[in-house]
Amino acid sequence: MDVTKPAWATRRRTRAVLLLAAGLAVAAALDGSLLWRDTQRNAAIAEVAAGAAPPQGAASLPEGALPELRFAAAYAQALQAGQQASRTAAEAALNRYRPLQGDTPLGQAARFNSANLLMRQAMAVRATQQPGQAIALLELAKEGYREVLRHDPGFWPARYNLERAQRLLPDAEEEELQAGEPAPESERAVTTMRGHSPGLP
């Protein structure tokens, strides 16, 4: 007994296989184009961060540049400021970091890098003949570190740098406490006091 499948069943299966193959080809082409785009973006970011593309003026980056690309330009400018000890390059880097300081992880990194740049500037100013001018820079750096820690309390580099800034310029409240006055609101709970038993009612 010869059982053959009808021609329409074979055609239906062939169409399904062809549609599946076409869908996979479209998905592969789309994935390939996204991979190519990301590779191009990463290459541009690496080029700007390495300083190959000079981050001199605002005109060097297009208006709608990726935030990552703008971050790389600010980073390269901050490195340039550190190498050349240039205040204008440091100010330009800070100006590039400011618009990026949102709630995103990139914004947190921009805020942390800004605070680090301010801290480096303050340490350089402290080494000059007018160390008092570093106070404002240290206060801004401490505020930047505190803002980073508000969003991510476990970010240890910010904690460490805030502690370093506190050692360079303690807050006014800490200076008053070190003068020997008791700490405000330092009452201990009755249950934590030694030798006191509340007893039973």
State the residue range of the domain holding 138.
Answer: 111-169
The pLDDT score that the predictor gives to residue 187 is 47
Asked if pLDDT for residue 100 goes beyond 90, the answer is no
Mean pLDDT of 166-186: 67
**Could you give the C-alpha distances from 133 to 56, 124, 161, in angstroms and in order?**
27, 10, 20
Mean pLDDT of 26-33: 88
Is residue 57 in some structural domain?
A: yes
Number of domains making up the chain: 2
Same domain, 116 and 152: yes
Quote helix, strand, coil % in the chain, to nearest 5.
70, 0, 30
Same domain, 154 and 125: yes
Asked if pLDDT for residue 156 goes beyond 90, the answer is yes
Label residue 163 by pLDDT band (50, 70, 90).
very high
Label residue 195 by pLDDT band (50, 70, 90).
low
Higher per-residue pLDDT: 114 or 180? 114
Is residue 28 in some structural domain?
A: no
Is residue 92 in some structural domain?
A: yes
Asked if pLDDT for residue 55 goes beyond 70, the answer is no
From 81, 100, 119, give the residue that closes a domain. Answer: 100
Is residue 185 in some structural domain?
A: no
Contact 101, 111 (CB under 8 A): yes
Is residue 13 in some structural domain?
A: no
Label residue 52 by pLDDT band (50, 70, 90).
low
Is residue 147 in some structural domain?
A: yes
Is residue 19 in some structural domain?
A: no
From 100, 122, 144, give the residue that closes a domain. Answer: 100
Same domain, 127 and 74: no
From 49, 76, 100, give the residue that closes a domain. Answer: 100
Mean pLDDT of 11-38: 88
The H-or-E segment that residue 117 falls in is helix 105-126
Please tell me the number of Cα atoms within 13 Å of 126 on its side-chain side: 14
Same domain, 39 and 94: yes
Same domain, 93 and 61: yes
- Percent pLDDT > 70 in the chain is 76
Mean pLDDT of 65-73: 83
